[in-house]
Amino acid sequence: DTGVSQDPRHKITKRGQNVTFRCDPISEHNRLYWYRQTLGQGPEFLTYFQNEAQLEKSRLLSDRFSAERPKGSFSTLEIQRTEQGDSAMYLCASSLAGGPPGELFFGEGSRLTVL
């Protein structure tokens, strides 16, 4: 399978704990995105990387959230001191610079439940 893969698919944690999600994009894609989706809502943009550079961050990304893409390949999204409001599906997507605009390839998501 050469699509976008995310791990873990589901994480249950207690409030106050830290969690980390990993995303492996399609191998030749140099752009990587994180979105968050809550029940009954559309995806909300969190952040975007081109290669290893984080070029855009949403105001939704509070200081408890940090994303990295150290070698321009996989990315991690860490949430520190989780809150119940962080419960959501965290979606990763990738695309190729120069490809059709907005053609993002999404993974199946990592569902976070904060108790």
Residue whose C-alpha is closest to residue 88's, from 5, 24, 18, 11 = 11
Left, alpha or beta for 97 (phi > 0: left; psi -120 to 50: alpha)? beta
Q: With contacts defined by CB under 8 A, name the span among 13-21, 50-58, 65-73, 80-88 that binds another protein.
A: 50-58
The binder of another protein chosen from 15, 78, 108, 113 (CB under 8 A): 108
Residue 2 within binding range of another protein, rule CB under 8 A: no
Is 8 among the residues that bind another protein (CB under 8 A)? no
Identified binder of another protein from the candidate list 7, 24, 44, 68, rule CB under 8 A: 44
- Residue 28 makes contact with another protein by CB under 8 A: no
| Paired tokens of 30 | 């140099």
Q: Output the furthest CA–CA distance in the chain (Å, rounded).
A: 42
